A and B are shown apart, each in its own frame.
Chain A
């Protein structure tokens, strides 16, 4: 079972920031938080991951709370092409053969 909880759906106006929350209250100290997204009928796309510190790349920012029990993925200026299902996944740092465990994710709809 997935170790994360996400809202099933969210809407965001085009050009505004999209803030997608994820709860991972049972996360351990040696587990990453990963984010992927899946645009309709395509393969999941890696977005970003982090352990303790906030992270930023060309796609998004990841804000992890100090207690690490929740995080927020921020798309700073959402476009229609950001409409997708967003998955938050917890994965061990030394994952070895541990597979990714996907939950149901959050369906983000960006509205013009």
Chain B
């Protein structure tokens, strides 16, 4: 049973660039949530996708956007990258919005 997968594992970008991160949910799951984890901090909620729509959003600017595909996989897009966007980006999947969330290994983004 495949767990949550994310790609790429590591990414280096420069300020002002755009980045796309990808997530495939655990088999049977239909809901994807994205979190940002800065060094030394706990994960912070970015947004959640269910039925291909953004259902809830945390305190992140519009530079952060996402998408969910019919196969439930999801993308996180960040435009106009800032140095402060350097972080571990985590994807979590669940069956519906009430269920236990299971996390992927994360994508480490470094902005230079």
Contacts and interface: CB of A to CB of B under 8 A. Distances in A.
B45 A100 contact: yes
A101 to B, nearest CB: 7
B108 to A, nearest CB: 7
A97 B103 contact: no
B105 A99 contact: no
B56 A99 contact: yes
A67 to B, nearest CB: 25
Contacts of A44: 43, 90, 92, 103
B91 to A, nearest CB: 8
A21 interface: no
A54 interface: no
A99 B41 CA distance: 16
Interface of A: 2, 34, 36, 41-46, 49, 87, 93-105
Interface of B: 4, 33, 35, 41-45, 48, 50, 55-56, 58, 88, 90, 92, 97-98, 100-106, 108
